[in-house]
């Protein structure tokens, strides 16, 4: 059974610490070049391989990630 | 399948808990405080005790914790959170009372209050976030600072001959008769976060039993104080903090037959 997921990232609250990137098993997120109003390089989805495991959201210190998942 | 097709309310698996307010936390990027706040808020949400939970905030980085939790909060004087929590719990016995303290608050200036509250067996939850440094005031040496660890007041490393060895307050309170559940957790990987949440849940559940203090230590990072990036500070934590502060349950309630 495969799952497909996606994230909604609250980019204005993201502080760009990168702790979530280490926890991602699919390596589908990274810090981008864009900065938010506070000047942090915020998180971006770089690959469409998310499986909705919510590891990134669980470890995020600021709780900026919302995770959605469907069976495919 | 497109992104719009996946983003539907029925497919939601994880969202920021409404027990946390919408305020942006003032903590440094990657600080474990934010994660611990979220875990406590999630436990409060899952247990459905938002309207009967009272938190006690400390002095330290988490001094503004009351801005982030949508529950009742009291700000205690430096180190006095267990004493304030004692009074609140004795007056509101059907409420859930927890204190949220750092190592400078709980293990330094508040050692007396901590030990006596634990010895009396007050029916409260103590969340102790240990990052081995005074983060808020600029990275000074704390009682929990590791041997040879550089801080702004021990620039050549903590010399145990002069400054004494670090204080393992969690092991110390586990010896006291009033503590019911004592554990040490960390929050730098997803797996550890999930384990820490279970421990915090257990601590809040214990409060229903009226058996004594539930003490949860979270070994956390302080990337600003340690002068490292968030990811590097988590690696440093794993290499240096965890051998001295091993994770796991230190005192678990005996199973009733």
pLDDT in tens, A1-24: 789 999 999 999 999 999 999 989
Q: Residues of A with CB below 8 A from B32's CB?
A: 61
In three-state secondary structure terms, A7 is strand
Structure tokens that stand for B175 in this block: 């010896």
Mean pLDDT across chain B: 93
Q: Which SS3 state, helix, strand or coil, does residue B48 take?
A: coil
Closest CA to A18 of B256, B230, B166: B230
Beta carbons of A6 and B229 less than 8 Å apart = no
Q: Say if CB B222 and CB B233 are below 8 A apart.
A: yes
DSSP 8-state secondary structure symbol assigned to residue B188: S
Number of domains in chain A: 1
Q: Report pLDDT for B253.
A: 85
Identify the CA nearest to B243 among candidates B146, B135, B164, B160.
B146
Q: Which residues contact B202 (CB under 8 A, 6 or more apart)?
A: B181, B183, B214
Q: Identify which of A8, A16, A7 has the alpha carbon closest to the alpha carbon of residue A50.
A: A7
The Cα–Cα gap between B128 and B149 comes to 21
CATH topology of domain B3-251: Rossmann fold (3.40.50)
Q: Against a cut of 0.90, is the pTM above it?
A: yes
Of A6, A19, A22, the CB nearest to B3: A6
pLDDT of residue B2: 85
pLDDT of residue B257: 59
Q: Do A40 and B25 touch (CB under 8 A)?
A: no
The CA distances from residue B216 to A61, B126, B128, B240, in Å, are 18, 6, 6, 20
Which tokens hold the place of B65? 């914790």
- Picking from B5, B12, B30, the nearest residue to A61 by CB comes out as B30
Per-residue pLDDT at A28 exceeds 80: yes
Q: Higher pLDDT residue, B111 or A72?
A: B111
Residues in A lying within 8 Å of B, measured between beta carbons: 4-6, 8, 10, 12-13, 15-19, 21-23, 40, 52, 54-70, 72
Mutate to test the interface with A, among B1, B5, B6 (most CBs of A within 10 A): B6
* Disruptive mutation site among B10, B12, B14, B20 for chain A (greatest number of A CBs within 10 Å): B14
Separation in Å, CA B32 to CA A55, B26, B36, B168, B257: 15, 12, 6, 20, 38
Cite the DSSP H helix spans in chain B: 3-6, 32-47, 81-91, 103-104, 111-120, 160-163, 169-174, 190-209, 223-226, 230-236, 242-244
Residue B140: predicted pLDDT: 94
Q: What is the pLDDT of residues A48-62, one digit of tens each?
A: 899 999 999 999 999
Distance from CA of A53 to the nearest CA of B (A): 9
φ, ψ of residue B212 in degrees (nearest 5): 140, -165
Can you give the pLDDT at residue A1? Answer: 74
Q: How far apart are alpha carbons B107 and B72 in whole angstroms?
A: 25
Task: Give the Cα separation of B25 and A61 in Å (integer).
Answer: 9
As given in the structure block, the two tokens for residue A23 are 């926890």
3-state class percentages of chain A: helix first, strand second, coil last, to nearest 5 = 15, 35, 50
Q: Is B182 helix (H, G, I), strand (E, B) or coil?
A: strand
Helix (H) or strand (E) holding B249: strand B248-251
Distance (Å, rounded) from C-alpha B216 to C-alpha B182?
6
What residue ranges of chain B have pLDDT lower than 50? none
Tell me the C-alpha distance between A23 and B208, whole Å: 34
Interchain pair B1, A13: CB under 8 A = no
Closest Cα partner for B210 from B174, B178, B251, B162?
Answer: B178
pLDDT computed for residue B231 by the predictor: 94
Which residue shows structure tokens 């430096």?
B78
**What is the per-residue pLDDT for B256?**
65
* Per-domain residue ranges of chain B: 3-251
Q: What is the CATH number of the domain that holds A10?
A: 3.30.70.20
**Full residue range of the structural domain in which residue A63 is found:** 3-71
pLDDT, residue B246, reads 95
């Amino acid at each position: 059974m495969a799952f497909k997921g996606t994230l909604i990232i609250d980019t204005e609250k993201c502080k760009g610490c990168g702790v979530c990137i280490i926890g991602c098993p699919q390596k589908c997120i990274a810090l981008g070049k864009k900065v938010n109003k506070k000047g942090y390089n915020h998180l971006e989805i770089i690959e469409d391989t998310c499986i909705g495991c919510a590891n990134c959201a669980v470890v995020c210190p600021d709780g900026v990630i919302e995770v959605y998942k469907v069976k495919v | 399948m497109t992104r719009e097709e996946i983003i539907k309310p029925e497919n939601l698996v994880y969202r920021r808990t409404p027990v946390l307010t919408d305020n942006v936390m003032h903590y440094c990027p990657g600080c474990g405080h934010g994660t611990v706040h979220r875990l406590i808020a999630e436990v409060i949400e899952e247990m459905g005790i938002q309207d009967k939970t009272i938190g006690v905030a400390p002095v330290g980085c988490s001094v503004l914790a009351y801005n982030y939790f949508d529950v009742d909060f009291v700000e205690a004087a430096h180190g006095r959170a267990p004493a304030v929590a004692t009074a609140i719990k004795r007056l509101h016995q059907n409420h859930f009372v927890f204190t949220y303290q750092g190592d400078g608050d709980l293990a330094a200036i508040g050692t007396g209050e901590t030990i006596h509250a634990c010895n009396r067996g007050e029916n409260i939850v103590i969340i102790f976030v240990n990052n081995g440094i005074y983060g808020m005031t600029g990275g000074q040496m704390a009682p929990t600072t590791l041997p040879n660890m550089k801080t702004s007041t021990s620039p050549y490393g903590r010399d145990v001959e002069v400054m004494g060895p670090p204080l393992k307050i969690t092991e110390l309170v586990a010896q006291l008769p009033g503590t019911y559940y004592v554990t040490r957790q960390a929050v730098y990987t997803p797996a550890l976060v999930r384990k820490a949440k279970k421990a915090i849940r257990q601590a809040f559940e214990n409060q229903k039993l009226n058996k004594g203090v539930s003490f949860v230590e979270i070994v956390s990072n302080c990337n600003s104080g340690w002068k490292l990036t968030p990811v590097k500070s988590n690696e440093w934590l794993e290499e240096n903090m965890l051998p001295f502060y091993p994770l796991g349950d230190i005192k678990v309630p005996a199973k009733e037959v």
